[in-house]
Every structure is written in C-alpha cells, then in structure tokens.
Chain A
C-alpha cells in the first residue's frame, strides 16, 4: 500500500495535530510555537499539492474512515455506503490547494503581525483549527460531515474575529457573525436531516444516485442554497462580512476569505453533484444568478463610499462573490442542455472556478497589504494616510499587483476569469454582462482611490518614522504575489492543468457518484 493513498486523511490530520499540540509546544517558548505554525501550514500546503497532483494523474481519490481497505466504499451486501468517506475529485483538490496557500501565507504574515500580543498560543491553535474546518469542507463526501466541518470553521472563526477582545467593535463583529452563521448552520442541518429522512443516506454520491426531484427536494435545495449563500456573504445576508473581515486580525481575514470560498464550494457541490441535471433549468439557477448580480452591484456601490480600508475590502468581497455566483448560475442554467453547455455553459463554470481561485489569492493579498498599512501607521482610515509608497516600496508593489488583478486589468489573472464570465453571461442575456462590467469599472475606481490616497501624494509628517514591514509579513504577501504572477503569466498552462480538470470534475456528476457507488449506477 502506497503512502499517497492516505493523503486525504493526512490533509486533515496534520493541521488538527498542529492545533492540539500547540498548547504543549508553546511551553517551549515563542520561537518553537512560531515554527510549529509555519511548519504545520507548510506541510498542509505540500500535502494539498501532492493530493491535487495525485488526483490529476489517477482520478478521484476516495478514503473510507475506519475500513480495513482504505478505498472499499461499498462493503459486500451493502446497498449504500455506511462509513464516513472523504472524496477528493479534481475540484475538491483544487479548492483544498487554494485554501492551503491562503493558510500558509496568513501564517507567515501573522508571525510578525501578531508579535507582542498575548494569547498567541490560542491564536495558533484556533488558526490551525480554522484551516482544518476549511479543508474538511472541501474534501468531505458526506453531508453531515460537511456540517461538522462548517461548525469547526465557524467556532474557530468566532474566536479569531474577536481575538482583540479589548476592542468593542471586534466583539460586536464576532457576535454578529455568530448569529448569522448559527442560523445558517441550523437551516443547513435541517435540510440535511430531511434528505437523510427520505434517502437513508448522508453520502453526497449515494443521495445523488437516488435523488428524484420532488417537492421536498425543492425545499431542501432552497434551504441549502440560502444558508450557504449566507455563509459566503451573498447580497441580502452580507452584513456580517465587512464587519468581521475588517475587525479580525489581517492574517485571519486572509484565511476567512478561503473559508467563505469553502462554503461557496459546498453550495456548488450540492447544486452540481447532488442535484445535477435533475434540478432543471428553472427556479434555482435564476435565483443564483440574481443573488450574484445583486451582490456584485450592491457590494461594489457600498465599497466605493467607504473610508476604512478594511471595510472597503470587505464590501469588495461581497461584490466578488457575486461574479462567481453569476458564473455558476449560468452554468446551472444550461446543465441539461448539451448545446448551450458546449457553447457558453462550460466557459461560465470555468470562469467561476478560476475566479474562486483568483479571488482567494488577490483578496487575501489585499487584506495582508491593508494589515501592513495598519501595522506601520496604526490607522485604517484612508483620509489619514498618504505618501506611503516612498516608505514601503515592496508593500506598494504587491498592493498594485493585487489591485490590478481584482480590477481585472489585462495581463492579470482576474481579467481572464472575468472575461470568461462576461462572455458566457452575455450569451444568456446582455444585461447580465452589462451589470458585471459596470461593477468591474466601479471596482477599478475604488482601488484607484485607495492607491492614490494611501500610497501617492506628498510625504506626511506623521509618517516620517514609518519603515517597510518586517520580513515575515513581506514573505506572507510574497507567497501570494508569486502565485498571482505565475497564474497570470502562464494562462494557457493554468487553464489546461488547473482550471479545466476542476471544471470538468464539477460538471461530471456521474463520475463523482461512480467513484463511491461503483460503476453500476
């Protein structure tokens, strides 16, 4: 038996171990604890990369917990899988890799950023737990396990958002997030319970193979879409997102971006792999498209008027989630229509998948850059900043790259994914693409404003003593910058090795089900 067979389990075991040995290791001092954080997140990243490579070469990886043979999903005599199963297809592995990169970058950044705060062992512990929750959501093949991981991630993030508990705003933001996220999780559990009651199974593939689209399934789908859209911050339920992203320490905001993407992954997985073609081109795809348009437009219009740099970025997150929802919504619309799928549907899904990756990278980088500004100047209000480009050349350079990517300027990765979404949504209705373009222009305007007020302009007396941020923070931002540049400079390689397999795996419902249920569906 090959050790790479155990990669799905290791992906969760390593950060989980990291979380629980932190209190012990912290007894050995600060140096040891910091090393643990970096080593844990780095090993997780390596495992995620190996898993992704493995899945790409040898197809969907399946891991059955508690079985003698790791990939025996259906013991003889069983009609349904009974054990807890991890299932990583190309899309899951893609999301896990994307989350692991964000987690590593945030960990490097936190080393210097959080220096001098007490309670760091709890920070490291919760940070690793948040990583576990996020990775677990992406590779689990079981609905109830998805709920458990979403709760692990939520509980860890409640603690981390309120980490600076002497700040009233941080506690308030955390409480707001707790409320929204608890209601969403309970609705989600109710929906999963209803599915279990009808199909006697919790495995996504098993339910997917049995599913008949009736009245109950419609209600369940609405519950799941509503609660997961709420967790990833789509428009009507977005109010927690700018608050908690802004008040959390920047290293955590960076990881929270990846966690919200894992919720979006859950939404997309349920729509494509659980419901698939049975969903039909009716109500739900249009709901997703409209949610996307509303998030995109209202998110960006609220972002333009913000003064607080991290709140501004929080509202941009709402707007960016809208693009992905639009892309996936268009994909769902033509799921049962082979011609439409070939013409523009697959491009839309590719755009959505690629945008999930791009968004995680550049938004994480933007939060880290905002954190650097806060670290050096102690301010978050844009009106108090100015002339920082001279003082912090590296941060400025990386901020410009991230801002160009989020605004969708041509050579950068954001442009490619946005273009795919524009083209495909134009085929459905031109007004969809028009709203997306207007939002993109407003995004550009708002980042020009940030760049101009914070980095350009005359040197200010208040910032004479400002220096470039320490090397750990630069390294954290550097990781993300390198990824963004690599993805931007080699678009054809990225598309064919990275995005296309993930999109194909997402559309291929039979493949996802077959990996668990065997070929006989």
Chain B
C-alpha cells in the first residue's frame, strides 16, 4: 500500500491542477495550475522507474545489492522538465502581453474572441 503512495499523490496533484485550470479566474493561477499538472506527470514518470532498495543507475557510483533504478524515466523526466520550462516562459510572457492589451488578468474580461 505504502509503495503506491506516490501514485496517489500524482493522481491528486493531477486532478487538482486540472480543476484549478477550469475554476480559477486569475491567469497567473491558471499558469501555476499548468505547472502543477506538468510536475505531477513528471513525478509519475520518476515514480514508475523507482525500485525499492534500488541503486544509482551510474556504474561507478552504485552501492551494494538490489536492482538498479530505471534510468530511462529519469531521462524522459529531464526532457519533459526542459519542455515545461519553455512553455512556462511562453505562458508567462503571453500573460504579460495580455495584461498590456486588456489591463486585466481576469479570464472573464479577456474575451474578445467569441462566436
């Protein structure tokens, strides 16, 4: 049971992020929700690769006994983090531009595109 704890946390974080995207009105909070969503997925990947009592997956640093922790999900997570960095930067700069044009970061008032 305790071994599945990371996955429950991932599920909670993911739902939390998703809910925040739909319910929050502040664009900055929405950007934070997207980051939370991304982090939960990254945590999912890392948790997948973990083996109980596992060793470092680097040959000259490994300890004694036990299986190695899977390195592939870690590589994937690093890639996903870099991508998330780029998108977060873009989202924040878009919010900045929106603030300049509309003078507000309330979702309900940023609504020129309709119909």
A298 at the interface (CB under 8 A from B): no
B112 at the interface (CB under 8 A from A): yes
Q: A183: which of B37, B79, B86 is its contact (CB, 8 Å)?
A: B37
Q: Is the pair B97, A165 in contact by a Cβ cutoff of 8 Å?
A: yes
Residues of chain A lying within 8 A (CB to CB) of residue B98: 168, 171-172, 175
Residue tally, chain A, CB below 8 Å to B: 33
B18 at the interface (CB under 8 A from A): yes
B54 at the interface (CB under 8 A from A): no
Residues of chain B lying within 8 A (CB to CB) of residue A176: 113
Q: Which B11-56 residues have a C-beta within 8 angstroms of A?
A: 14, 18, 21, 27, 30, 34, 37-38, 41, 44-45, 48
Q: Is the pair B44, A193 in contact by a Cβ cutoff of 8 Å?
A: yes
Known A-B contacts A168-B102, A169-B113, A193-B73; the reply to A174 vs B94 at CB < 8 A is yes
CA distance A174 to B97 in the complex (A): 11
Q: Is the pair B34, A171 in contact by a Cβ cutoff of 8 Å?
A: no
Nearest CB on A from B15, distance (A): 12
Residues of chain A lying within 8 A (CB to CB) of residue B48: 193, 196-197
Residues of chain B lying within 8 A (CB to CB) of residue A202: 72
B95 at the interface (CB under 8 A from A): yes
Q: Which A192-230 residues have a C-beta within 8 angstroms of B?
A: 193, 196-197, 202
- Closest A residue to B34 by CB, please name it: A182
CA distance A232 to B87 in the complex (A): 19
A148 at the interface (CB under 8 A from B): yes
Q: Which B50-108 residues have a C-beta within 8 angstroms of A?
A: 72-73, 76, 79-80, 83, 86-87, 90-91, 94-95, 97-98, 101-102
Q: Is the pair A193, B101 in contact by a Cβ cutoff of 8 Å?
A: no
CA distance A169 to B97 in the complex (A): 11
Scoring A residues 160 to 176 as 1 if CB is less than 8 Å from chain B, else 0, what string do you get? 00100100110111111
CA distance A165 to B99 in the complex (A): 12
Q: A178: which of B41, B72, B87, B102 is its contact (CB, 8 Å)?
A: B87
Q: Which of B80, B95, B113 neighbours the largest number of chain A CB atoms within 10 Å of its CB?
A: B113
Residues of chain B lying within 8 A (CB to CB) of residue A154: 87
B110 at the interface (CB under 8 A from A): yes
CA distance A305 to B27 in the complex (A): 31
Q: Is the pair A178, B94 in contact by a Cβ cutoff of 8 Å?
A: yes
Q: Is the pair B73, A172 in contact by a Cβ cutoff of 8 Å?
A: no
Residues of chain A lying within 8 A (CB to CB) of residue B94: 158, 162, 171, 174-175, 178
Residues of chain A lying within 8 A (CB to CB) of residue B90: 155, 158-159, 178
- Closest A residue to B94 by CB, please name it: A175
Q: Which A462-496 residues have a C-beta within 8 angstroms of B?
A: none
Nearest CB on B from A318, distance (A): 14
A338 at the interface (CB under 8 A from B): no
A256 at the interface (CB under 8 A from B): no
CA distance A186 to B81 in the complex (A): 12
Known A-B contacts A162-B97, A175-B98, A179-B21; the reply to A190 vs B113 at CB < 8 A is no
Q: B41: which of A148, A158, A168, A189 is its contact (CB, 8 Å)?
A: A189
- Closest A residue to B38 by CB, please name it: A186
Q: A196: which of B14, B73, B113 is its contact (CB, 8 Å)?
A: B73
CA distance A172 to B105 in the complex (A): 11
Scoring A residues 136 to 156 as 1 if CB is less than 8 Å from chain B, else 0, what string do you get? 000000001001100100110
Residues of chain A lying within 8 A (CB to CB) of residue B44: 190, 193
Closest 10 CB pairs of A and B: A168-B101, A197-B48, A171-B97, A151-B83, A243-B113, A175-B94, A186-B37, A193-B45, A189-B41, A186-B41
Q: Spell out A's residues near B (CB within 8 Å).
A: 144, 147-148, 151, 154-155, 158-159, 162, 165, 168-169, 171-176, 178-179, 182-183, 186, 189-190, 193, 196-197, 202, 243, 247, 305-306
